[in-house]
Structures are given as structure tokens and as C-alpha cells.
Structure 1
Amino acid sequence: MTLEILDIAARPDLKPAWRALFDGYSTFYKRQLTDPVADAVWAWLTDRLHEVEGRLALVDGTPVGLAHFRRQPRTGFGEDMGYLDDLFVSPDARSGGVGRALIEHVREVGRGRGWRTIRWTTADDNYRARTLYDQLAAKTSWNLYELTVGDTP
């Protein structure tokens, strides 16, 4: 098995495979990924000037996982940190080290950029992923709040 992590911006030809993975991620979280949302995120990921970046994990040349991440200011420390927005591994590729490899890749990107911290959230009932996350990171005691600002599509 050959595992490779690719920068999405360097491989726009992989959009259909990325879309299938992002659809899987959205379905897992009980959201429907619309074409306008997918197109907006894809535009971000392929624009080197946009803050959101993406990586695809390929096993033997087949895309099986994705990670979307970005820089986030950490105001209490006067520094930048990383935020892992989305992480998904196709069900048939789970338990093969793909999720760990994607997180470790983001860690290396962060290390190169001087980030001391990378954060992410997951659903409380995402037990399988949390098993991996508990091996790699410390669960915080923070609660997540979401304020609706206006009508959204």
C-alpha cells in the first residue's frame, strides 16, 4: 500500500474524487452538499491566496481521504494556530492509517508555519474518529456555541 498526501491546489483534476469524499463527509454529518457550496469550497481550495487549504490522501493512486484546514489567530497568545475544519476518510479505507496520516501532515504544515496548536471539533457521538483523536491530541474542556446571524441558504 502506497499512501500519498497531495495539495488539492496542485491537482485540480481530482475535483470529482474530492467531491465524492466531501459528499461523504457532508452525509456523515447529515447535511446535503449542494453544488454552489461545493463549488465555493473548491474555489477556495484551489486559490493559493485563500486561507482555506486542502489535502487529499491517496492510497495506491486512489483518493480516499480529505483534510481542509486554515490559519487561525490565537489572540490570547498573540500567535497563529491551525484549525482543521474537515477531515474525512472513505469508509472502505478506515483503520488503514489514512486519518492519522492526514492529521500528521497538517501537523507538519503547522510546524513549518510556527503554529504551536491545531484545533478541531467533532460530533460527540463520532466515537470511531474520537478514538484516533484521543491518541493524537488532548480533548479540551471548552464548549462550542453557534450564534445565528441571519438567514442562510
Structure 2
Amino acid sequence: MLTIRPPEPSDRAAWDSLYQGYADFYQVVQTPEMRERVWGWLQDPAHECQCLMAFDAEGKALGLAHFRAFARPLSASTGGFLDDLFVDPAARGSQAGTQLIAAVRAHAEKHHWSVVRWITADNNYRARSAYDKIATRTAWITYDIKL
């Protein structure tokens, strides 16, 4: 039995540990100041970035999802972008990732978003096998301009 909910101030340490695990997985150097900034966004109801966390029956944090709305001018609609999804390696197989995505989807449906979109690394095979069961892989290729 998992509980999916937004993080509360008392979840800060658990969120920090999970988010550090996510950064480590993608080999991104992240400072405590960076995580403090993101945590501030998540605690600000006016900020676009939102978070849901998965907790087991004992209240242990198992995973997190960061997401936000984005404008889709071509379709004159609003979509949702799932920026970060991470499940503690010890909790893989618990359905935490699937349930987090389902909760983001429910949020999207409630807010009449037209799509929930995300990207993942090509070599993230375990996650991709789960994603292939719940979403449609697109033919779009992403590009970045580093600033």
C-alpha cells in the first residue's frame, strides 16, 4: 500500500536524499544550494514546479516526481511535463514509479491538460520498459542549446 502526496516541510530530508539519488543516477553534480532552491520552488504554491512523493505503509519515502504545466500553442492547450522521476533503488519493483506517473496523470486530467510528456536517457532500459507499458514512445528528438 503506497501513499502518493505532495511533500510537506517535514519531508525535506527524505526528498533531499531521493533527489540526490536522481542527480547521482544522471551523473549531475548538484550542490545543497541547488537542492535548497528546488525545495523552495516546491514549497511555493505560486511556482510552476510541483512535486508528488510516494511513501510506503510505514511512511518511508520511496520516490518522487517533479512536474509542471507548459503551453502548447499549436494545439491551443496546456500540457504537463514530467521533469524528474526517481524511485529509490531499494524500492524498485514496488510500483512507486508507476503510481507516481498515474498520480501525475490524474492531476493532468483534473486540470484538463492535453498530454503528459517526459524524456529519459536512451540507456535507461529498466525505466523505459515500464514507460512502454503506460505511454507511447514518440518519434521526436530533443535538442539543447547550452547557455
- TM-score, structure 1 normalization: 0.94
Match of 2:95 in 1: 97
Q: Distance in 1 between matches of 2:115 and 2:5?
A: 22
Identity fraction in percent: 40
Q: Distance in 1 between matches of 2:36 and 2:94?
A: 29
Deviation at 1:6, TM superposition (A): 1.3
- AA at the equivalent of 1:15: R
- AA at the equivalent of 2:34: V
Q: Distance in 2 between matches of 1:49 and 1:59?
A: 29
Q: Distance in 2 between matches of 1:116 and 1:100?
A: 20
Deviation at 1:32, TM superposition (A): 1.9
1:32-51 matches, cutoff 5 A:
32-51=29-48
Question: Which deviations, in whole Å up to 9, do the C-alpha atoms of 1:8-44 show, x marking residues without a partner?
Answer: 2xx1111000000000000000112211110110000
Q: Distance in 2 between matches of 1:106 and 1:56?
A: 11
Match of 1:21 in 2: 18
Runs of 4+ displaced beyond 3 Å = none
Deviation at 1:75, TM superposition (A): 1.2
Q: Distance in 2 between matches of 1:136 and 1:98?
A: 14
- AA at the equivalent of 1:123: A
- TM-score, structure 2 normalization: 0.97
Give the number of aligned pairs: 146
Name the Cα RMSD after superposition: 0.6
Match of 1:74 in 2: 72
2:12 alignment partner, SS class? helix
Q: Please, which runs of 5 or more residues in structure 1 have no aligned partner?
A: none
1:1-153 matches, cutoff 5 A:
2-8=1-7, 11-60=8-57, 61-149=59-147
Q: Distance in 1 between matches of 2:30 and 2:53?
A: 18
